[in-house]
Structure 1
Amino acid sequence: MSRKEIEHVERHPKVILICDKVDELGGVSDVISSQISAFRVLTKFRDIKDVIIDSAPHVLILAMPSVSASIELYKTLVEQGLLDYPHENILLCENKESGVGFRCCMKHIFCDYFVYKPMYENYRLRMILHNALLRCENAHDTTHIREEHFGNIDESLKQLIDDASAYHIDAQHTLSTARKNIDQAKGVNDIQTALMNELKAQHINPLLDQLEQKLAMSIEELTNSLKNKQLSLAELSALLIEKSLPETNQKVTDYQNDKPAQNKLEAESQYIKIMVIEDNEIYREMISKILINAGHNVEAVSSGLIAIKKLKKQKYNMIFMDLFMPELDGYNTTRNIRNISHCKNLPIVALTSNKNKDLIRKWATLGLTAYIAKPSTKQSILKAVEKAKRAIAS
């Protein structure tokens, strides 16, 4: 039995995760176990059968090697009469089978699906599980979702999220009530009823469909507003929870002297010293986490002025810098950095969500190694590091 299986051996679980390779589901297990303590991972059919008979778990999460394998397993459990009680089933699938997973849910084979390869939106998995448990009995058994699950989100962003949620729920309820009232409406005689039904089919129902589409578009606009304000929850999960490269205990030492070849020597090693200049705390921590987990020596600061003071006293191999910052923006920070003797050719990677090409070109004239648009992915950040290392070595 693997370590993960040992960790999740709840005798009477409310949620079970059924899979064939436990090691590939570490991130999923961590998310589920943080949300509900009555959780167990199962890999053997005999154990699955025994647990279902003994505990009748509320939620079954299937993560077999393929969607077809998950369907076959679920079908077998049903045919053997093991699932003849109210329950929720959630499909986990790879990104390449997400379309199949969506179709399975549309056909009501599964209640919902979640793409765990790659695992980006862990908050969506929390939401799926939370809603599934609410639809089942004993929903109070779930662990309360705490504020720390969502990182350091400022109050204005929280308000935007609450507004979006309230608007969506209220609008959906209004449309649902309207459809129900229209469906129940009848004429005083058969002829009038027939005319009303024709009117519903040709005019009223299409109008309601259009309203639902506009609702969906409005929600998308609110989501974009969240993205422009700060990182959305989905993006936070993609950036903060995404599994990074294996952590290492190898350290990069500070500069001990001013030897001209120092930059080149460190660039040829695997790990380098990096400064992150970003006023957004969440984004600053995200980038730092990715770089630290990749083994690099990272120092993060919140403003260009702080960065300039440190750069005058210490040497770094490269910089990640935001464009819009208080006191001194990225362009003017870069201009001041280039006036420091040992920073004239220091690789700088620009970070911004701004799409003003003229502004980016102006910034680039000061010498940028790379440009990354927000929200960034772990891959784009580490790729920029590799590009900077090549620039140092050249």
Structure 2
Amino acid sequence: MHKRDVEHAQRHPKVIIICDDPAELTGVVDIVASQVKEYRTFTSYKEVAELLSEAPPGVIVIARKTVAKSVEIYSLLAKHGLLNYAHENILLCENKESGIAFRCCMKGIFTDYFVYKPMYENYRFRMILHNALVRTEGKSEVAKIREEHFGRIDDNLKQLIDDAAAYHQKADETLQNARRSLDNEKGINKVQDDLLEELKQKHLSPLLDELEQQLSESVHELTRRLKDKQFSIAELTALLTEKDNSTHAQTAQHVSPVGNNGELDITEPKSIAAKQEEIKIMVVEDNEIYREMIAKILRDEGYKVESVTSGLSAIKTLRKHKFSMVFMDLFMPELDGYNTTKNIRNISHCKKLPIIALTSNKNKEIIRKWASLGLTGYITKPSTKSSILKAVDKALAENNELN
């Protein structure tokens, strides 16, 4: 039996997925499987009810055809007393129903929601699931992140994140203490009790509610501003905690422009003759954290690395200096990866320069168009250490063969 089937048949899963058509949830299941081994997918109410009676999971993901149907099955399970335990529930919906999903979460029906049709932000789902697992387990069951995994993050950014977390926790504790003190406050007679209760209802409780709402909004805004600079734990885990594979030179992906069947061609690598200390690699990525993570992985392997933040900077540098290969992000400000590659190919000594695409975009047309400029390979984001090194080995093998 395939490993995925074994994991998928767990009798005591930590995560269950309730849906109408599992075939539509391939991407979702892949993300769940990357974070937790014990999970199952159900399409039958009876099967879900039996599992909840026997081994209640900590996280319930519901992704039925409509939000109404998801609410319906969750309400039915609750009505039959099958959800009377601490758990997290995540609603998956289509983009057109995101407003309804948002309202359901605001009303407290679901812990969080995620738009999986189309799935634009799979990192967000990774983070939602990770947080849900942490809350239900009391501690993280996923791969641990050590401080050194953050690479060369700016100290000011790290301090800002730490300060924000401390502020949020302290402010939340202060508000909760104020609520408890207010609830315990009593007068010396009925008249005072009535006056105090009126004061609570009309003034003090609304004030605390407003402060709590402002705190939530402030944290949300801070999170939004840090989004471009801060990786989620799931991304960092995928990138840095994968066990090193000493045979990574054997299976690197390779992209030819377009095969006869219209699909990208993936072939096997050959041996590598170049010495690592003589290899100079450029990393073109506007996301500071991701850029430094790739650079660190390459440097740790003995390669010389130069990082740039934009396509324009890459072109300018490549006109003056020679590199062994380039890692290129697709979406960047000013000039995207496709047009940057197009300009690089016009530089005389870069016409055959190995270029490896970095992208989280699953649109095959975009990849084909980019590949037509002469990509050596591509890796998807978040990239694992193994996939990065495989891509390097493959690119060097191709280049040596051509030369």
Per the TM superposition, whether the score is higher than 0.5 is yes
Q: Following the alignment from structure 1 to structure 2, what is the Cα–Cα distance between the partners of residues 25 and 285?
A: 32
Greater mean deviation of Cα atoms: 171-180 or 31-40: 31-40
Query: Residues 49, 216 of structure 1: CA spacing in aligned structure 2 closer, same or farther, 3 A cutoff?
Result: closer
Structure 1 residue identity aligned to 2:229: L
Matched, 1:211 2:211: yes
Aligned partner of 1:302 in structure 2 is 308
Shift of 1:85: 4.9
> Which residue type is aligned with residue 251 of structure 1?
S
Aligned length: 306
Q: What CA distance in whole angstroms lies between the structure 1 residues aligned with 2:102 and 2:198?
A: 33
Contact 1:14 1:55 in 2 (8 A): no
SS at match of 1:164: helix
List alignment gaps of at least 5 residues for structure 2. Answer: 240-252, 259-263, 266-281, 295-304, 336-342, 351-358, 374-403
CA apart distance, 1:386? 6.9
- Determine the C-alpha separation between the residues in 2 that align with 1:103 and 1:309: 50
In the alignment, structure 1 residue 143 sits paired with structure 2 residue 151: no
The answer as to whether partners of 1:280 and 1:302 remain within 8 angstroms in 2 is: no
Instruction: Indicate if the aligned counterparts of 2:95 and 2:117 stay in contact, CA closer than 8 A.
Output: yes
C-alpha distance 44-162 of structure 1, shift in aligned 2 (>3 A): same
**1:55 equivalent in structure 2:** 55
SS of the equivalent of 2:11 reads coil
Unaligned runs of 5+ in 1: 242-247, 254-269, 288-298, 325-329, 331-337, 347-375
Deviates more, 1:54-63 or 1:2-11: 2-11
Q: Is the 8 A contact 1:59 1:133 kept in 2?
A: yes
Amino acid at match of 1:231: K
**Overall identity of the aligned pairs, in %:** 44
- Say if 1:120 and 1:234, in contact at 8 Å, map to a contact too: no
Query: Cα–Cα, structure 1 residues 12 and 141, in superposed 2: closer, same or farther, change >3 Å?
Result: farther
Change (3 A) 1:113 1:145: farther
The 3 A distance-change label for structure 1 pair 5 and 98 is farther
Go from structure 1 to structure 2 and tell me whether the alpha carbon gap of 1:176 and 1:29 turns closer, same or farther (over 3 Å shift): same
Q: Does the C-alpha gap of structure 1 residues 29 and 127 become closer, same or farther in structure 2, counting only changes over 3 Å?
A: same
Q: Which string of whole-angstrom CA distances, capped at 9 and with x for unpartnered residues, describes residues 98-130 of structure 1?
A: 222232234443333233233345454445444
* Residues in 2 aligned to 1:342 and 1:226: alpha-carbon distance in whole angstroms: 36
- After TM superposition, list the pairs within 5 Å mapping 1:1-394 onto structure 2: 7-78=7-78, 82-83=82-83, 85-122=85-122, 124-133=124-133, 136=136, 139=138, 142-146=141-145, 154=153, 156=155, 157-220=157-220, 222-223=222-223, 225-227=225-227, 231-233=229-231, 249-251=254-256, 277-278=284-285, 281-282=288-289, 284=291, 301-302=307-308, 307-308=315-316, 310-311=318-319
Cα displacement string for residues 154-190 of structure 1 (whole angstroms, at most 9, x for unaligned residues)? 1533332222122111111111211221232122222
Alpha-carbon separation, structure 2, partners of 1:153 and 1:18: 41
C-alpha RMSD over aligned residues: 5.2
Distance 1:177 1:277 in 2: 49
CA contact (8 A) 2:64 2:70 kept: yes
TM score, norm. by length of structure 2: 0.56
Which one has more relative contact order, counting CA pairs under 8 Å at least 6 apart?
Answer: 2
Please tell me the residue identity of whatever aligns with 2:105: C
Cα distance in 1 between the residues matched to 2:213 and 2:108: 22
